[in-house]
């Protein structure tokens, strides 16, 4: 959420006043869009990565406050649970050798954080879901000691009115319940930001929705939760179920979940902010003193604080963002589909694939989203999450006959999407060396059918075959993952299996 929120209770008047302010904010946003008050394009990208803390045994360490105190950098912040951190990289202009610079910054930041964490017998693990997390780790007592997290938990629990059931049927099936939103903290992701003009927003957002499935297929890295092997990317179903304010009756009525892929292509950023108000009751009805219309009438830039806070509690996989920088408002598309890790090289390769592909698709004369139903994009996303790099996706047929056909994700990426991403990176002005290096990582993953999830699952099963119990196999897989992650070679080059000796008897 990123907002300073003070814990407290809300009464009926708070909610009505907040709803009124939200409507005012939406009206002012509509005026800002019509009057073209937004920043000119600067080709700016941004990056956030959520991280896990684990000990030398591979088990989670509930000590983000101590680690952050030692890191002592504004680039690192708390996240939802005590075993989480987040690192924020300053915005970069797309062009030149930006991806190499980004990779070097990330390596330096993560190595420093890992050294500081080691002072308290912990370490940084960049992974979608830490395989060694147990149900006892994901309880409200382990939420970070930050008011906004406690308040958000209280409001979602109150809206739900009962425990949160988790039911994920994958390679194995997990069925359990939680009395808090703490299981959401298991989901550690990469968020890719792209600043866009209002006129370009819809094309970029629609393109991002289309590419969400291929992104996940090649980037999946979250196959385990609570000792169970589930989907290749288990974060989306876990995130949706652990934040679901709808009891079964509202689900049966078709009420939308707060963690949401969406249900239509859009024509404006306004469409998404308006949907957020129309479909989702505010969780945090905190009112700001600003009169946004008066600020705008006086020639100022309104913060739209209520709209921004509400937007942060609707968990779209591609989220619209309104923000102000240097006194000028701007819009961003925040892409939230990717898991963290496995390595810095893999993260940057995923970013290069995304930024190149979105640029190319958004500029096509006959955009792909005009040739496929939105429902196909949503179904593709689910298929990619379930099956990862082995997924089959629906995609528009080439040629004049139209319609869609089913294709292997790796075939789609290698034959059609990587050339588009390459052209998109050229359009951004990316140096060929950066383009070829990082898109080459994606191509090699497809050639070998090996990403983070595939490596984790294969290594876990090798450990079982050697006689380790499930918990020991998951811990050993996590330790080996951490070693290879810090060595830094991309995941498709990692040898499957464990180096450490297996105890006899």
| Tokens 């961003």 -> residue | 332
Angle, alpha carbons 452-241-219 (nearest 5°): 15
Digitized pLDDT (tens) for each residue of the chain, 505 residues in all: 334 444 456 677 788 999 999 999 999 999 999 998 998 878 999 999 999 999 999 999 999 999 999 999 999 999 999 999 999 999 999 999 999 999 999 999 999 999 999 999 999 999 999 999 999 999 999 999 988 899 999 999 999 999 999 999 999 999 999 999 999 999 999 999 999 999 999 999 999 999 999 999 999 999 999 999 999 999 999 999 999 999 999 999 999 999 999 999 999 999 999 999 999 999 999 999 999 999 999 999 999 999 999 999 999 999 999 999 999 999 999 999 999 999 999 999 999 999 999 999 999 999 999 999 999 999 999 999 999 999 999 999 887 677 899 999 999 999 999 999 999 999 999 999 999 999 999 999 999 999 999 999 999 999 999 999 999 999 999 999 999 999 999 999 999 999 866 554 4
Distance CA 409, CA 411 (A): 5
Looking only at Cα atoms, what is the longest distance across the chain?
Answer: 78
What is the model's pLDDT at position 11? 73
CA distance 348 to 329: 28
List the alpha helices (DSSP H) in 38-83: 64-71
Q: Which residue has the tokens 């360490």?
A: 61
Which tokens belong to 214? 């291929």
Q: What is the DSSP secondary-structure string of 358-408?
A: HHHHHT-SS-GGGSS-HHHHHHHHHHHHHHGGG-EEEEEPSSSS--EEEEE
Instruction: Please give the model's pTM, rounded to 2 decimal places.
Output: 0.95
End-to-end CA distance of the chain: 49
Q: Are the CB atoms for 377 and 215 separated by under 8 Å?
A: no
Rounded CA-CA distance 327/489 in Å is 41
Q: 391-415: buried (b, 16+ CB within 10 Å) or exposed (e) per residue? A: bbbbbbeeeeeeeeeebbbbebbbe
Say what the pLDDT of residue 10 is: 67
Report how far residue 359's alpha carbon sits from residue 204's, in angstroms, rounded to the nearest whole number: 7
Pairing of strands 315-316, 259-260: parallel
């Amino acid at each position: 959420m990123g907002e300073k929120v003070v814990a407290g209770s809300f009464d009926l008047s708070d909610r009505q006043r907040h709803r009124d302010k939200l409507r005012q904010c939406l009206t002012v946003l509509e005026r800002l869009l019509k009057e073209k008050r937004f920043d000119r394009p600067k080709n700016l990208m941004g990056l956030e990565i959520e991280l896990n803390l684990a000990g030398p045994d591979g088990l989670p360490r509930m000590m983000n406050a101590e680690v952050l105190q030692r890191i002592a950098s504004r680039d690192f912040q708390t996240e939802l649970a005590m075993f989480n951190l987040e690192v924020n990289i300053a915005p970069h202009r797309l062009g030149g050798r930006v991806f190499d610079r980004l990779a070097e910054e990330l390596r330096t930041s993560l190595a420093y954080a890992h050294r500081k964490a080691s002072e308290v017998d912990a370490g940084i693990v960049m992974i979608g879901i830490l395989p060694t997390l147990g149900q006892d780790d994901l309880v409200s007592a382990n939420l970070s000691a930050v008011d906004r997290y406690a308040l958000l938990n209280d409001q979602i629990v109150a809206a739900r009115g009962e425990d949160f059931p988790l039911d994920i049927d994958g390679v194995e099936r997990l069925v359990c319940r939680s009395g808090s939103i703490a299981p959401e903290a298991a989901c550690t992701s990469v968020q890719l930001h792209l600043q866009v003009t209002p006129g370009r927003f819809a094309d970029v957002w629609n393109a991002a929705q289309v590419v969400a499935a291929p992104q996940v297929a090649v980037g999946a890295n979250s196959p385990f939760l609570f000792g169970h092997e589930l989907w290749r990317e288990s974060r989306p179903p876990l995130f949706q179920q652990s934040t679901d304010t709808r009891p079964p009756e509202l689900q049966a009525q078709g009420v939308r979940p707060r963690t949401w892929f969406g249900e239509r292509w859009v024509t404006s950023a306004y469409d998404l902010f308006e949907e957020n108000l129309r479909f989702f009751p505010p969780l945090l009805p905190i009112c700001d003193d600003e009169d946004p219309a008066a600020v705008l009438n006086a020639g100022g830039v309104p913060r739209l604080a209520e709209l921004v806070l509400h937007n942060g509690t609707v968990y779209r996989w591609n989220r619209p963002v309104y923000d102000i920088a240097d006194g000028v408002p701007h819009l961003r598309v925040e892409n939230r589909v990717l898991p963290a890790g496995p390595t810095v090289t893999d993260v940057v390769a995923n970013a290069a694939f995304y930024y190149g592909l979105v640029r190319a698709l958004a500029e096509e004369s006959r955009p792909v989203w005009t040739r496929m139903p939105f429902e196909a994009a949503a179904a593709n996303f689910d298929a990619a999450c379930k099956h990862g790099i082995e997924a089959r996706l629906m995609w528009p047929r080439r040629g004049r006959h139209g319609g869609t056909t089913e294709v292997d994700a790796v075939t789609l990426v290698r034959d059609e999407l990587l050339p588009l991403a390459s052209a998109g990176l050229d359009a951004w002005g990316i140096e060929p060396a950066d383009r070829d290096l990082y898109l080459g990582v994606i191509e090699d993953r497809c050639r070998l059918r090996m990403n983070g999830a595939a490596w984790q699952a294969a290594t876990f099963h090798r450990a079982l075959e050697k006689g380790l119990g499930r918990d020991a196999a998951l811990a050993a897989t996590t330790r080996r993952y951490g070693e290879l992650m810090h060595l830094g070679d991309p995941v498709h080059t990692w040898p499957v299996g464990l180096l450490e000796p297996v105890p006899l008897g």
